[in-house]
C-alpha cells in the first residue's frame, strides 16, 4: 500500500485526484492533504479516507476553525503548511497539485526526502527547473507528470528509442478566444476568457490557456522532463483536444497519443507508475470523425513568445514573468482590470525586468516578491488615474 500526500486537494486537479485514488484503494492510501481555505471539501474526504491524519490549511482562521471540529487530526497552518504535511507524514508519494510559485518548494522538498513526485504544478519546472534537475540527480528521483500533454508525451517517448525520435509535438486547444476576430481579442470579457472550449480548469490556467502562456510553460516543462531543446518541441492546435501530444520520428512518421478530455487519465498514469489502468473512461471511435487541426498563430498569441523569451534569459527572468502573470490575473478575474489592461501590462512590466540568472531558491523567492510588488504598484497607480 503506497501512502500518498495530496497538495492542493480542493482545486480541480486535487478533487479529480481524489476520484482516482478512490478507484485504487487497494493500492493507495491518502494520509495527508493541504489546501488554501476551502475546508468544506474536507468532511467528505475524511469520511472516505480514515487514515488521513495530517491536514495543511494555509489560511490561519480556517485552520483554527477546522481544529475545533477535528481534534484527532494534526493540523498545520500558514504558507508552509504543505511542507509541514510532507515532513510530518510517512508518505511514499506526493501529488503536487498546487498552483503557482507556491508549488516549487514542496516539489524540491519531496525529492530531497526521496518521495515519489507526481507533478501537476507547472511552475516547479518552469521557474525552478535547474533546482529540480539537481534534486532529481542527487536523490535519483523521477517526475511523474500530471498533465494531459506530458503524460501523452511520456507514453509516446517510452514506446520509442531515443535515437528514433527527431522532435516532440504538443497540441493546444487554442483557448477560449481562438475563434474571436484578432482585433476583438483585447476587448474580451472575463466570462468569454473563462469559457474554455475543451477543458474545465481553474481560473488562472484558463486565462493562461487563452493567451497560450500555459502552452509556453508546457513547452518549457517538456524540455526539462524529456531533455529536448525548445526548438525541438513543436506546437499545433487541435480544436477538439483529442490528440494531446506526439513524437516525430526520424523516418518521417508521427506517433500520436489521443484520449478523452479527462484529467483523471494522466492522474492515473502518474499514480500507477507509468501504467495504463482501467478507470472507467471509454474511448468513442466517433470522436475521430470530426477533427480539426490548425497551425499555431504566433500573432494571435504574443505572450507565448514573450514567455519563452523570458525563459531563455534565465531563471530569474521567467520567475519575474510568472509572478507578474499570477498577480495580474488575480486582478483580472476579480474584475479590477480589463483583459486589455492585463495584456498591455504583461508586455510593459516584462520590459522593465532586470532579472536574469539566479542559483538558489532564496533568490527566486526574492524575485517573486519584487515582481508582485511592482505589479501591484502599477495596477494601483492605474486605478488612481481613473
CATH of the domain at 79: 3.40.50.720
Does 209 appear as a known binding residue?
yes
The mean pLDDT value of the chain amounts to 95
Q: What percent of the chain has pLDDT over 90?
A: 93
Q: Is the pLDDT of residue 116 over 70?
A: yes
12 is in an annotated binding site: yes
Does residue 87 form part of some domain? Answer: yes
356-359, Cβ contacts within 8 angstroms, sequence gap of 24 or more:
356/313, 356/314, 356/316, 356/317, 357/314, 357/315, 357/316, 358/314, 358/315, 358/316, 358/319
Distance CA 306, CA 312 (A): 10
pLDDT at 375: 97
Check whether 122 is labelled as a binding-site residue: yes
Within a domain: residue 301? no
pLDDT reported for residue 358: 85
Q: What is the pLDDT of residue 202?
A: 80
pLDDT greater than 70 at residue 204: yes
Rounded-to-integer distance, Cα 68 and Cα 134, Å = 41
Asked whether residue 185 carries a pLDDT value surpassing 80, the answer given is yes
Report d(CA 236, CA 294) in Å as an integer: 6
CATH code of 375's domain: 1.10.1740.10
269 and 357 fall within a common domain: no
135 plus 153 within the same structural domain: no
Please check if 11 is assigned to a binding site: yes
302 found inside a domain: no
| Overall average pLDDT of the 300-314 stretch | 96
The residue out of 119, 141, 163 marking a domain boundary is 141
Any idea how long the chain is? 386
Average pLDDT over residues 73-101: 96
Q: Confirm whether residue 38 is marked as ligand binding.
A: yes
* 124 and 169 inside one domain: no
Reading phi first (left if > 0) and then psi (alpha if -120 to 50, else beta), residue 138 is in alpha
For 274, phi then psi, to 5°, come to 60, 40
Which pLDDT score, from 0 to 100, does residue 206 have?
92
Please state the rounded mean pLDDT for residues 37-51: 95
Instruction: Tell whether 164 is covered by a domain.
Output: yes
Q: What is 206-247 written as a DSSP string?
A: HHHHHHTHHHHHHHHHHHHHHT--GGGEEEEEETT--EEEEE
| Confidence at 363, pLDDT banded by 50, 70, 90 | very high
Is residue 48 annotated as involved in ligand binding? no
Instruction: Flag whether 147 is marked binding.
Output: yes
Domain, as residue range, for 80: 2-141
pLDDT band at 108 (very low <50, low <70, confident <90, very high): very high
Is 365 contained in some domain?
A: yes
Among residues 22, 13, 319, 311, which one has the least CA distance to residue 146? 13
**Domain C-terminal end among 141, 156, 188:** 141
Instruction: Please list, residue by residue across 222-239, b when 16 or more beta carbons sit within 10 angstroms of its beta carbon and e when fewer do.
Output: bbbbbebeeeebebebbb
Same domain, 155 and 288: yes
Q: Is 195 in a helix, a strand, or coil?
A: coil
pTM of the model: 0.94
Helix (H) or strand (E) holding 317: helix 315-333
Same domain, 168 and 287: yes
Look at residue 163 and tell me whether its pLDDT is greater than 70: yes
Percent of the chain with pLDDT over 70: 99
Confidence of residue 93 (pLDDT cuts 50, 70, 90): very high
215 annotated as belonging to a binding site for a ligand? yes
Residue 123 lies in a domain: yes
Q: How confident is the model at residue 356 (pLDDT cuts 50, 70, 90)?
A: confident
List strands edge to edge, sheet with 93-96.
74-77, 54-57, 28-35, 2-7, 93-96, 116-119, 143-145
pLDDT value at position 196? 81
196 annotated as belonging to a binding site for a ligand: yes
Residues 236 and 267 in one domain: yes
360 appears as a binding residue in the annotation: no
330 and 254 both lie in a single domain: no
> Domain for residue 308, yes or no?
no
Task: Label residue 227 left, alpha or beta by phi (over 0 means left) and psi (-120 to 50 means alpha).
Answer: left
Shared-domain flag, residues 126 and 185: no
The pLDDT score that the predictor gives to residue 201 is 75
The reply to whether 149 sits in an annotated binding site is: yes
Position 386 pLDDT exceeds 70: no
Region 69-74: mean pLDDT is 94
Residue 352 is predicted with a pLDDT of 84
Residues 164 and 111 in one domain: no
Burial of 377 from C-beta contacts in 10 A (0-12 / 13-18 / 19+): exposed
**Pair (267, 370) in one structural domain:** no
Considering the domain architecture, whether residues 108 and 89 belong to the same structural domain is answered as yes
For 215-232, how does the pLDDT look when each residue is reduced to its tens digit (9 = 90+)? 999 999 999 999 999 999
Q: What average pLDDT does the segment 350-362 reach? A: 86
Residue at 303 is within a domain: no
Q: Is 80 annotated as a binding residue?
A: no
Count of domains observed in the chain: 3
Statement to judge: residues 258 and 187 lie in one domain: yes
Q: Identify the domain boundary among 114, 141, 168.
A: 141
Confidence check: pLDDT of 203 > 80:
yes
C-alpha grid cell, residue 8: 492542493
Amino acid at each position: 500500500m503506497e501512502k500518498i500526500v495530496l497538495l492542493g486537494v480542493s482545486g480541480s486537479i486535487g478533487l479529480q485526484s481524489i476520484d482516482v485514488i478512490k478507484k485504487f484503494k487497494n493500492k493507495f492510501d491518502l494520509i495527508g492533504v493541504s489546501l488554501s481555505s476551502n475546508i468544506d471539501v474536507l468532511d467528505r474526504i475524511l469520511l472516505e479516507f480514515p487514515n488521513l491524519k495530517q491536514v495543511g490549511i494555509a489560511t490561519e482562521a480556517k485552520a483554527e476553525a477546522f481544529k475545533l471540529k477535528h481534534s484527532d487530526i494534526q493540523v498545520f497552518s500558514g504558507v508552509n503548511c504543505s511542507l509541514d504535511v510532507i515532513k510530518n507524514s510517512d508518505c511514499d508519494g506526493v501529488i503536487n497539485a498546487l498552483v503557482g510559485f507556491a508549488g516549487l518548494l514542496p516539489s524540491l522538498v519531496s525529492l530531497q526526502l526521496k518521495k515519489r513526485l507526481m507533478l501537476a504544478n507547472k511552475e516547479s519546472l518552469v521557474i525552478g527547473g535547474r533546482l529540480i534537475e539537481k534534486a532529481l540527480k542527487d536523490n535519483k528521483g523521477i517526475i511523474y507528470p500530471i498533465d494531459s500533454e506530458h503524460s501523452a508525451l511520456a507514453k509516446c517517448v517510452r514506446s520509442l528509442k531515443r535515437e528514433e525520435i527527431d522532435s516532440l509535438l504538443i497540441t493546444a486547444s487554442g483557448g477560449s478566444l481562438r475563434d474571436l476576430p484578432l482585433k476583438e481579442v483585447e476587448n474580451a470579457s472575463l466570462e468569454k476568457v473563462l469559457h474554455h472550449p475543451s477543458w474545465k480548469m481553474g481560473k488562472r490556467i484558463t486565462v493562461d490557456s487563452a493567451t497560450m502562456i500555459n502552452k509556453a510553460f508546457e513547452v518549457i516543462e517538456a524540455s526539462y522532463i524529456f531533455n529536448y531543446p525548445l526548438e525541438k518541441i513543436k506546437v499545433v492546435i487541435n480544436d477538439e483536444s483529442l490528440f494531446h501530444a506526439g513524437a516525430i520520428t526520424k523516418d518521417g512518421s508521427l506517433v500520436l497519443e489521443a484520449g478523452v478530455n479527462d484529467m483523471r487519465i494522466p492522474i492515473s498514469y502518474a499514480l500507477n507508475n507509468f501504467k495504463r489502468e482501467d478507470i472507467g473512461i471509454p474511448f468513442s471511435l466517433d470522436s475521430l470523425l470530426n477533427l480539426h487541426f490548425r497551425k499555431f498563430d504566433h500573432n494571435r498569441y504574443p505572450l507565448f513568445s514573450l514567455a519563452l523569451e523570458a525563459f531563455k534569459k534565465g531563471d530569474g527572468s521567467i520567475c519575474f514573468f510568472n509572478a507578474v502573470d499570477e498577480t495580474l490575473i488575480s486582478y483580472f478575474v476579480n474584475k479590477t482590470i480589463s483583459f486589455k489592461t492585463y495584456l498591455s501590462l504583461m508586455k510593459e512590466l516584462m520590459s522593465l525586468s532586470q532579472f536574469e540568472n539566479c542559483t538558489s531558491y532564496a533568490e527566486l523567492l526574492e524575485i517573486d516578491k519584487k515582481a508582485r510588488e511592482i505589479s501591484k504598484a502599477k495596477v494601483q497607480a492605474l486605478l488612481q488615474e481613473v
